[in-house]
Structure 1
Amino acid sequence: MSTSHTPYNDLLTIPFSAATDFTDLADYCDRFAETLIECDDTAQKLALLGRMGACLALLRPTLDEPIPPHLIEHFTVDTLPAAPQFFEPDAEALCDYCQSLAQVLCQHSLLPETEKSLKGLLCELVWMFAGELKAPRWDRSKTAH
């Protein structure tokens, strides 16, 4: 019997640790959320929530650290994008919200409608969080490193 490799299975085997760049951890969270929003299988949802929670737990203590020098160029662009936001929690609060929602969903004690709404909220918050972490920070023409 062979094991088929699916994007879902690949997500569950992606290695990451405290040494993983925060940009990669943010990408993984993004991918977990993309898969979770479409997932109806309870075991798969719990596995994805567990992996997402582990990534968020690794990201949380790094949020106040300076960006590593090898990533500076990645966050430097010719023109910063205009991104108006109506909900602007700081990165630490946003990470905490995501972790809390992931933990609540792991308990699997909600009404189906409530679980669906909270799963959607978690995914939207994770996409927002990952997008913020991966967004450009410096305008090349205005900033000297």
Structure 2
Amino acid sequence: MVAVPDQFFPLLTVPFTADTDFTVLADHCEHFAEALIESDDPALRLAMCGRLNACLTLLQPTLNDVIPPHLVPQLTVDTPPAEPPRFEPESDLLCEYCLTLTHVLNSQSLPPDMEKTLTGLLCELVWYFADIMKAPRWVKGTEA
């Protein structure tokens, strides 16, 4: 039996429900994803993937809900962040994501609703990848 790394053990039992604030659920999602990518233990990866799925399933129907009044103060700042959250993987990793999705879709082993969702994700990633590949890299009249 493989031992669960100490830093991931609490994630196996952390409680959350449909009443958990979306900010807390988002934190849990980050922790589950981190454990998922850092673990080599198949059982732990399966458990983290299941916990991540459960959190995302609770979050999805609430994404367009009004922010609860008790969360407004924590989401209000005097000055906006200098850098908003961004998705900017390197082009080689982005290409790898796209290739992996094409392999999954070509397997034709997914239910139609999942296939449609992954096709949408693939298209968004490919369009982003193409924009990056075709983006200007130099400005005329400046040293490289």
Q: TM bucket by the smaller chain?
A: 0.5 to 0.7
Equivalent in the alignment of 1:57: 57
Using structure 2 for the length normalisation, give the TM-score.
0.54
Q: Which amino acid aligns with 2:13?
A: T
Alignment of 1:11-50 (within 5 A): 11-50=11-50
Residues 36/71 of structure 1: CA separation in 2 closer, same or farther (3 Å cut): same
Alignment of 1:1-145 (within 5 A): 6-83=6-83
Residues 60/75 of structure 1: CA separation in 2 closer, same or farther (3 Å cut): same
Equivalent in the alignment of 1:93: none
Give the superposed CA RMSD. Answer: 2.9
Structure 1: gaps of 5 or more residues: 89-100, 110-145
* Per-residue deviation, 1:11: 0.1
* Per-residue deviation, 1:82: 3.2
State the identity %: 58
Take 2:11 and 2:21, find their aligned partners in 1: how far apart are those partners?
17
Q: Which amino acid aligns with 1:13?
A: T
* Per-residue deviation, 1:8: 1.5
Residues 5/83 of structure 1: CA separation in 2 closer, same or farther (3 Å cut): closer
1:33-64 CA distances to partner (integer Å, 9 max, x unpaired)? Answer: 11111101111100000000000000000100
Q: Give the number of the structure with larger relative contact order, counting CA–CA contacts within 8 Å between residues 6 or more apart.
A: 1
Q: Which amino acid aligns with 2:48?
A: L
Equivalenced residues, count: 89
Q: Radius of gyration: which is bigger?
A: 2
Structure 2: gaps of 5 or more residues: 89-100, 110-144
Equivalent in the alignment of 1:114: none
* Per-residue deviation, 1:5: 8.6
Q: Which runs of 4+ in 1 moved over 4 A?
A: 84-88
